[in-house]
């Protein structure tokens, strides 16, 4: 069993980006600038946004955090988005999800300028992705593709099961892996909460991408020997023995699945760090596109 080390791989990608940024600086070019809007004080979201800002500093990007209270109105949020849309210094920005219940998520995502939508969540980018046109790929599926590629995992003709149909992970993952591309050309089955006899699909799969948000759901008796496992889940499970009062668990029961797997991502240190690296990659792309215009 080989661990798909997202921490190391994301470090490699960040180093590659840092080299490009230092060249930009040498040539007196503007460095990429990523902004993030955070609404509210959800612990996990604060951690993720903090990690994104920290990663920007590490590679030499400029970053801006727009930190808004939980009771921010949709109108105020839309005004903040418009400011970033028109701020020529900002190359790309994200609105951290989930948003508070009183805000219409799709309306907000639609308000982002698609050329600055480095999360790839705008309908224009989702449509372009589906049609295999140049676009910003959503960072988590992009990170999974990159991890599979860098570990030379064959996907062509393989049976891939994607578990979960979220707009952010499962749905784009299923589209991307069925396309003619590196880490693509797979026969993809998307399973979800209404799927009957789920294990009958997972037991046949060569590669399983798990993104359902239920901790330790996929167990050893649901997979075949030699399977490749990519665990996108990360949930806080209460644990009184930990200082913080919780531990982080994936959607895969690592102890029972890992012995049967040929490759498997750990949680933490698997897909999570890759998401951040790919967001930086998209921001770099947004900034160079801007300079070409």
> For ligand GUN, which is the closer residue by CB, 55 or 261?
55
Tell me which stretch binds ligand GUN (CB under 6 A): 93-101, 190-198, 243-251, 255-263: 93-101
Q: In the bound complex, what is the minimum distance in angstroms from residue 122's beta carbon to ligand GUN?
A: 12
C-alpha dist (Å) from residue 226 to 203, 205, 208, 209, 257 = 11, 10, 11, 14, 10
Residue partners of 30: CB distance under 8 A and separation at least 6: 24, 89, 287, 291
Backbone torsions φ then ψ of 95, nearest 5 degrees: -110, 115
State which residue, 122 or 222, has the beta carbon closest to ligand GUN. Answer: 122
Q: Whose CA is closest to 280, among 1, 60, 40, 39? A: 60
Q: Which residues pair with 248 in a beta bridge?
A: 236
Which residues on neighbouring strands pair with residue 163, listed in sequence order? 191, 210
Return the residues of window 226-285 that contact ligand GUN according to CB under 6 A.
Answer: 275
Among 21, 90, 139, 161, binds ligand GUN (CB under 6 A): 139
Determine if the peptide bond prior to 107 is cis (ω within 30°).
no
Q: How far is CA 213 from CA 150, 170, 219, in A?
A: 26, 11, 14
Stretches 70-78, 95-103, 181-189, 262-270: which one binds ligand GUN (CB under 6 A)? 95-103
Closest distance to ligand GUN from the beta carbon of 140 (Å): 5
- With contact defined as beta carbons under 8 Å apart, do 228 and 3 qualify? no
Taking CB under 6 A as the criterion, the residue among 119, 146, 206, 231 binding ligand GUN is 119
The answer to whether 209 contacts ligand GUN (rule: CB under 6 A) is no
Question: By C-beta, is 209 or 223 nearer to ligand GUN?
Answer: 209
Q: Is 140 near ligand GUN (CB under 6 A)?
A: yes
97 binds ligand GUN (CB under 6 A): yes
Q: Active-site positions? A: 52, 96, 119
* Interface segment toward ligand GUN; rule CB under 6 A; list 88-96, 142-150, 155-163, 244-252: 88-96
Among 96, 125, 215, 265, binds ligand GUN (CB under 6 A): 96
User: Residue 268: is the preceding peptide bond cis (ω within 30°)?
Assistant: yes
Q: x-or-dash pattern for ligand GUN, window 142-181, by CB under 6 A?
A: --------------------------x-------------
Q: Which residues pair with 235 in a beta bridge?
A: 249
Dump strand ranges (E) for 13-155: 33-39, 62-68, 92-95
Quote the least distance from Cβ 48 to ligand GUN, whole Å. Answer: 6
In this structure, are residues 34 and 55 in contact, taking their beta carbons and an 8 Å threshold?
Answer: no
Q: 92: which strand partners? A: 34
Helices and strands of the chain, counted as H and E runs:
10, 11
Return the number of the residue (227 or 279) whose C-beta is nearest ligand GUN: 279
- For helices 6-26 and 271-292, give the axis angle rounded to 10 degrees: 20
CB of 275 to ligand GUN, least distance (A): 6
Interface residues with ligand GUN (CB under 6 A)?
A: 94-97, 119, 139-140, 168, 275
């Amino acid at each position: 069993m080989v661990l798909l080390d997202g921490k190391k791989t994301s470090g490699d990608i960040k180093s590659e980006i840092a080299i490009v940024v230092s060249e930009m600086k040498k040539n007196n070019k503007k460095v990429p600038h990523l902004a993030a809007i955070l609404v509210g004080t959800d612990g996990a979201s604060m951690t993720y946004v903090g990690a994104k800002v920290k990663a920007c500093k590490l590679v030499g990007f400029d970053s801006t955090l727009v930190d808004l209270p939980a009771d921010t109105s949709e109108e105020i949020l839309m005004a903040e988005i418009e400011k970033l849309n028109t701020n020529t210094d900002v190359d790309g920005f994200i609105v951290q999800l989930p948003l508070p219940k009183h805000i219409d998520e799709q309306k907000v995502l639609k308000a982002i300028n698609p050329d600055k939508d480095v999360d790839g969540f705008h309908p224009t980018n989702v449509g372009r992705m589906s049609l295999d046109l140049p676009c910003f790929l959503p960072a988590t599926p992009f990170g999974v593709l990159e991890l599979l590629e860098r570990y030379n995992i064959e996907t062509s003709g393989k049976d891939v099961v994607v578990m979960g149909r979220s707009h952010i992970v499962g749905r784009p993952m299923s589209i991307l892996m069925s396309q003619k591309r590196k880490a693509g050309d797979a026969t993809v089955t998307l399973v979800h909460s209404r799927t009957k006899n789920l294990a009958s699909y997972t037991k046949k799969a060569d590669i399983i991408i798990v993104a359902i948000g239920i901790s330790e759901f996929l167990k050893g008796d649901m997979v075949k020997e030699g399977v490749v496992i990519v665990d996108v889940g990360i949930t806080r499970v209460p644990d009184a023995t930990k200082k913080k009062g919780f531990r982080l668990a994936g959607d895969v029961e690592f102890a029972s699945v890992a012995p049967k797997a040929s490759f498997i991502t750990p949680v933490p240190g698997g897909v999570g760090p890759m998401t951040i690296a790919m967001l930086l990659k998209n921001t770099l792309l947004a900034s160079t596109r801007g300079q070409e215009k």
